[in-house]
A = this chain, B = another copy of it.
Amino acid sequence: MKVYTPISVCYEDTDAGGVVYHSKYLGFAERARMNFLHEHGIYCKEMAQSEKPCGFMLNHCEINYKKPAYLEDELIVETELLELRGAGFDCLQIVKRGEEVLVEIKVCVCCVTSEGRPTRIPANIRSKLAEIS
């Protein structure tokens, strides 16, 4: 199941080349993953404040820039869960302007303790993610 997150490109997102700055797509992708988690009842704050505090972190990402985005473009980020593992998950996130694919992002997210050590995704979070996929 895909979740769709709209993004309006502001000056903040652009650079002197007249296009969206390349690192901003990682910020757009985070906004979209947050939306994805919230849509399914998962809140990072609750994870951080639970009995066994934990959180999600990126351990790998790959970005394929196909076409530039411009000021005031209305973009959509499509977020899809590719694989759910014991201690993390993979997402494919596609930034589109209408039907045009501008940027493809693949992220590997892992679950970590408050000390930053990899840990299994808590059962209640895992079951919510499992429903999604």
With both chains docked as a complex, state the minimum distance between the C-beta of A82 and any C-beta of chain B, in angstroms. Answer: 16
Residue tally, chain A, CB below 8 Å to B = 40
* Number of copies of this chain that the complex holds: 4
CA distance A64 to B59 in the complex (A): 6
- Asked if A14 contacts B12 (CB within 8 A), the reply is no
Partner of A55, one of B10, B17, B44: B17
Partner of A15, one of B12, B45, B65: B12
For residue A60, CB closer than 8 A to chain B, the reply is yes
Question: Which of chain A's residues 33-67 have a Cβ closer than 8 Å to chain B?
Answer: 34-35, 38, 43-45, 48, 55, 57-65
- Kindly list 17 other residue pairs between chains A and B, CB separation below 8 angstroms, not including A10-B30, A14-B15, A16-B18: A8-B34, A11-B17, A11-B21, A11-B30, A11-B34, A11-B44, A14-B16, A16-B16, A16-B19, A22-B57, A43-B72, A44-B72, A45-B71, A45-B72, A57-B68, A58-B63, A60-B64
